[in-house]
Structure 1
């Protein structure tokens, strides 16, 4: 018989939260995002909103949390709240990118090479400014324009 390999079990770093809402107990073994998704599936938007807001307060950027909260507000036709969360998400994303780039210690020659490559590929203009925005930003800006139009109608 071959010896059994030992499996390293890593503990999950997700914080597990026990929540109750209107006699409905959410499974305590699920992560908060799973709990919120389950609440959304059960049409308990108030509980899902509460869980997502709690996640935003943790200060760790997660674009999915902002997006789901935007969807919840849109379903409830709470356009002012949706606009607030869009602005908050854009601001938080900018801070996240600045912190990410500030933490990197890049060699000067590598930095120059990257700038030249970006310029030759058309990713930046002649002054070094990026021409394309990262993933959630264009979608959120489009969403913001839509919400502002709806607010003007009302």
Structure 2
């Protein structure tokens, strides 16, 4: 620490920052996502470390799927922070969704920092066998 170092005062158990502009201090990360598809659905696995269910927002609108989340950095209640350099990361990722997918039936689960989304295909978009009659 130098003579110019200033400590931010604590407010309600959190460290207050001198810059109150949320956008200026928020770090937005693009989560790594694995995507695969089969004849019945498209599945996405997104890495969201430290994200809890109540800090996760998944939305579908106008052909776009948006995933937004905020990681939680736990601070023990008996720990007095004097300096913090870790910013709470914000995750954001957006995908275009095909009309072949039924967005009203999306299933989502979050386990150990991995979000799994399963987006089923519409029945009319699923491959089907056409029977040919002889004659």
Q: TM-score, normalised by structure 2?
A: 0.24
Q: TM-score, normalised by structure 1?
A: 0.22
- The structure number with the bigger radius of gyration is 2
